[in-house]
Chains A and B, each alone.
Chain A
Amino acid sequence: MPMITDATHTPIPDEEIDALQTCALAIGADAENSSSDEARHRRLAAYRLFRQMMIAHARTAEWRANPIVQELLLEVLTLEGDIEADEDGLDPDWRVRENLDRISQIVELLRRNHEHGALDDAPTAARFVVGELAGARDEDIADICGVETRTIRNWRKHQPGTIRVNGDRVVLAAQLIYDLRGTITAPGIARWFRRPRHQLDGRTPLDLMNENIDKAAGPLRDLSRSARGQLAT
């Protein structure tokens, strides 16, 4: 669930992150009807594959420059020691399991950072907004993005290449929608922007965006993440 600051974003392809996560999961997968010795060998084989993949990635500039990847490499080294120490392959104290879960969380962090960082690019953000809000009215999306309704119609017809007006606002809208989309439907998201909220002293998210997009970002990010996560009011 945590997300990281934009400063640590480097462009790593989605499929490489997916492959890494799949490979990490394979190390921890239970093998039914196998002896402890077989389980240990299977785990070591899966680990070696994972390590090879990490080493290959570490040779590329995009991965090497990313501080999260550097942490991941350290975790991989620790994992090797834990797997070797687990002689019967049963991992009774969950040393391997704990390390694997941590690796999984770091890879997930990498993925979220990657997805979120991609939305810093205004044309990408615009494509994301019209894609996620496919079920919402053009007028509502135009209000959210601070553009003309005809611009939204154009974005729907032709993938936007450049954003001439309110690029920062489009980026913020995309980031908020990224957090809202898992729990609120597209028409509901459009409504979310128009509803007065006590957290905003009775104003709407659109009010804040219309006043000052930079000042709106912090409170609106909190509000959108609250809609998605656990709550305690």
Chain B
Amino acid sequence: MEPLWSAPLAFVQPTQPPARWNSRGELAQYAAQQVDAAWAELIRQEDLSAHDTAYYRRSIWMLQITEPRIADLSTFDRAAHCGIDPAILVDDDHTRCHALRAELESAGFTGVLAPSAALPDATSITLFGPRTAAAPHERIPERLRGVYVEASLIAEEALVPARLLTSTRRHGDDHAAFEAWRTSVS
């Protein structure tokens, strides 16, 4: 399976379901700086219990990302400093992130670093729009930065790590890192 969402034909509606940084019909490539955060996203999305994890198998890809312009909202402080309400970055409702994406794109950003909503203290990285996978260590021409991403398959049919079941933030739960930040600034 290809690791990245592509859209080779304009008249074909992408089928990527809406998520935090993409509304219906838009594409986004979702990744995390920590492998645990990628697993936590799966656990949160699928609301997995210890019993469920036995049934899930997942390929894990490592991406080497070199993009023209990434918005760094990786901490709540940075977001607040930019005049963005940090709460929206981890809110269960994604509506305001969709609006923020539109603003970021119009300002020339091709992606965003943000706190992981699923695993407090971890960081997610999202690229806006379609991308194509290049093999590891290929020299991607300058003109194709923002089109190609180096991708290496590092695990196939991997099992969900059970240790993350308790540390993953579930839907409806408070985000521990956000709450700690809010307390520290109030």
Do A and B pair up? The answer is yes
Stretch at the interface among A47-55, A94-102, A121-129: A94-102
A109-B9, A232-B30 given as contacts; is B15 within 8 A of A1 (CB)?
yes
Chain B residue with minimal CB distance to A185? B55
Are A4 and B30 within 8 A (Cβ)? no
Does A131 have its Cβ within 8 Å of any Cβ on chain B? no
- Which listed residue, B8, B14, B20, touches A232 by the CB 8 Å rule? B20
Are A5 and B19 within 8 A (Cβ)? no
- Which listed residue, B6, B20, B118, B148, touches A2 by the CB 8 Å rule? B6
Are B2 and A92 within 8 A (Cβ)? no
CA distance A131 to B143 in the complex (A): 46
A191-B52, A191-B55 given as contacts; is B14 within 8 A of A2 (CB)?
yes
Are A183 and B58 within 8 A (Cβ)? yes
Sample of 19 further A-B pairs with CB below 8 A, known A185-B56, A198-B172, A233-B118: A1-B2, A1-B4, A1-B15, A2-B8, A71-B8, A92-B141, A101-B132, A109-B8, A188-B56, A191-B52, A223-B17, A226-B19, A226-B45, A229-B17, A230-B3, A230-B31, A232-B41, A232-B117, A232-B124
User: Chain B 94-127, CB within 8 Å of chain A: the 1/0 string?
Assistant: 0000000000000000000000011000001010
Question: Considering the complex, which residues of chain B in the window 1-59 have a beta carbon less than 8 Å from any beta carbon of chain A?
Answer: 1-9, 11-21, 28-31, 38, 41-42, 44-47, 52, 54-58
Are B15 and A188 within 8 A (Cβ)? no
Chain B residue with minimal CB distance to A112? B15
B95 → chain A, closest Cβ, in Å?
14
B14 → chain A, closest Cβ, in Å?
4
Does B147 have its Cβ within 8 Å of any Cβ on chain A? yes
Are B19 and A232 within 8 A (Cβ)? yes
Does A225 have its Cβ within 8 Å of any Cβ on chain B? yes
Are A231 and B30 within 8 A (Cβ)? yes
Give every chain B residue within 8 A of A21 (Cβ-Cβ). Answer: none
CA distance A223 to B8 in the complex (A): 24
Are B47 and A230 within 8 A (Cβ)? no
B residues with a Cβ closer than 8 A to A are 1-9, 11-21, 28-31, 38, 41-42, 44-47, 52, 54-58, 117-118, 124, 126, 132, 140-141, 143-144, 147-148, 171-172
Are B14 and A231 within 8 A (Cβ)? no
A2-B14, A5-B13, A98-B144 given as contacts; is B57 within 8 A of A230 (CB)?
no
Are B1 and A182 within 8 A (Cβ)? yes
Are B141 and A1 within 8 A (Cβ)? no
Give every chain A residue within 8 A of B147 (Cβ-Cβ). Answer: 98
CA distance A67 to B12 in the complex (A): 10
A192 → chain B, closest Cβ, in Å?
8
Give every chain B residue within 8 A of A223 (Cβ-Cβ). Answer: 17
Are A67 and B11 within 8 A (Cβ)? yes
B91 → chain A, closest Cβ, in Å?
11
Give every chain A residue within 8 A of B16 (Cβ-Cβ). Answer: 1-2, 225, 229
CA distance A68 to B12 in the complex (A): 9
Give every chain A residue within 8 A of B132 (Cβ-Cβ). Answer: 101, 105
Are A222 and B17 within 8 A (Cβ)? yes
CA distance A105 to B140 in the complex (A): 18
Does A184 have its Cβ within 8 Å of any Cβ on chain B? yes
Chain B residue with minimal CB distance to A219? B17
CA distance A67 to B11 in the complex (A): 9
CA distance A227 to B13 in the complex (A): 19
12 pairs from A and B in contact (CB 8 Å cutoff)? A2-B12, A2-B15, A4-B12, A5-B13, A105-B6, A105-B132, A109-B12, A183-B56, A198-B171, A225-B16, A229-B5, A231-B41
Give every chain B residue within 8 A of A93 (Cβ-Cβ). Answer: 141, 143
CA distance A165 to B11 in the complex (A): 35
Are A233 and B14 within 8 A (Cβ)? no
- Which listed residue, B2, B42, B55, touches A231 by the CB 8 Å rule? B42
User: Chain A 143-186, CB within 8 Å of chain B: the 1/0 string?
Assistant: 00000000000000000000000000000000000000011110
